[in-house]
Copies of this chain bind each other. A is one copy, B any other.
């Protein structure tokens, strides 16, 4: 804990890896590519889950649970889906181990081979649409608005805590509709829910847009996304919402009888966010001292560190702060009084800075005399003496201010890192020197998109929903273009 982090300016990637471990968020496990989410990290994820779950339910969704395993044949039913997901998945081939007769410990029992292999779900469209076939007969059964909180597995060769792990936690919404229009509205609604969550809870500004055809989800007609910008100028896709058309309904033969008695294929959406959001949260706000958390997602809002000599003084301080703690808790805040006697205050200060607790209060004998508390805010690393009788209202306002301040800081950073360019030279120059989003004209072809990615590693993050029509020419091919799209290097 006490060891300092590598500064961001020196090695941003190293800074991130160290921070995630030192702030007690997560660590690598003994299983390749799989992480352990530690209690402090999991507490943040629980707060994310609670906020999202409420928003899902407010928009009419219910939770359910579908199997972890997907029969291999299911995955093959939707052609583009299998291409996208079969490549990197965990395959269950046997259902029993046994003691080796030659004394080599336990081995896979060759007699327990499955007739059909099972895939650990990389996403659940196939198993869910196989189920929906049984649930949907008539227009009366529609819409179906279901969400699932689950773990999924996508085999990854290069993994990074939260950002890219073989197993990750997520939610996946899967909805079924009678009309195309309704499905499109649903996909847009959930993109908006994600954007609201990112901005209001995570304090992470995002750009809403559409993915290009080559960046779409495997099996989608259209992929909506929210894109965030990290402090190193790289973009991070924070959530996606897919309009799936009738692709899965056709693959799994899911039809409904209309009011007029006609048989029609059902329209679908799916949408998800994952523990990747934890990575976005860390990389957007944190600094060289450690984590910076938005109060709305902080497991601990306020930590109180007593400054004392001897047990008697500690008891006096503990007694003194009790009514203040009660008051703060009555406001719905989580308050920790750190009375550990084996650690010095300075050590504790550094620990809570590293863990991103938004507000730290220090209290010693002299503060009692003065009728004040020393209140420090994590985001600005500033402190102030606050009159004891104003403490609760001050803290409540302070937390509100921290939430707004870190959002505004992230927004300012992003605003100054969206650069319009009009030539490929300029594009490459900005990409290497400044980074961030680059708004440039593109001819709409996958060929130019692929060539730019090949040469610069930048991808089209999205076609922003609020893009203005503007005549221009593609920075790569020179062909005509009607609007700018956003490029960036990305996580």
Contact = CB atoms under 8 A, between A and B. Distances in A.
A88 interface: yes
A31 B87 contact: no
A131 B29 contact: yes
B43 A62 contact: yes
A169 B65 contact: yes
B97 A72 contact: yes
Interface in A81-124: 82, 86-98, 105-106, 108, 117-120
A95 B65 contact: no
A72 B97 CA distance: 9
Nearest to A92: B90
A261 interface: no
A30 interface: yes
Contact of A97 (B86, B97, B106): B86
Contacts of A151: 68, 150-151
A36 B128 CA distance: 9
Interface in A359-405: none
Contact of A30 (B34, B43, B119, B130): B130
B91 A94 contact: yes
Interface string A4-47: 00000000000000000000000101110011111100110110
Interface residues of A, number: 63
Given A29-B131, A69-B167, A131-B36, A96 B88 contact: yes
Contacts of A108: 91, 93, 117
A63 interface: yes
- Most B CB contacts (10 A, CB to CB) among A66, A88, A146 go to A66
B106 A96 contact: no
Nearest to A119: B97
A95 B90 contact: yes
Interface in A184-223: none
A137 to B, nearest CB: 13
Interface of A: 27, 29-31, 34-39, 42-43, 45-46, 62-76, 82, 86-98, 105-106, 108, 117-120, 127, 130-131, 134, 140, 146, 150-151, 153, 155, 167, 169, 342
18 contacts: A29-B130, A31-B70, A36-B131, A39-B63, A39-B64, A42-B63, A42-B65, A43-B63, A86-B97, A88-B96, A89-B95, A90-B92, A90-B118, A91-B93, A91-B95, A93-B108, A95-B155, A108-B117
What 9 pairs across the A-B complex have the smallest Cβ distances? A34-B67, A39-B62, A37-B65, A86-B97, A91-B94, A95-B155, A31-B67, A93-B93, A90-B92
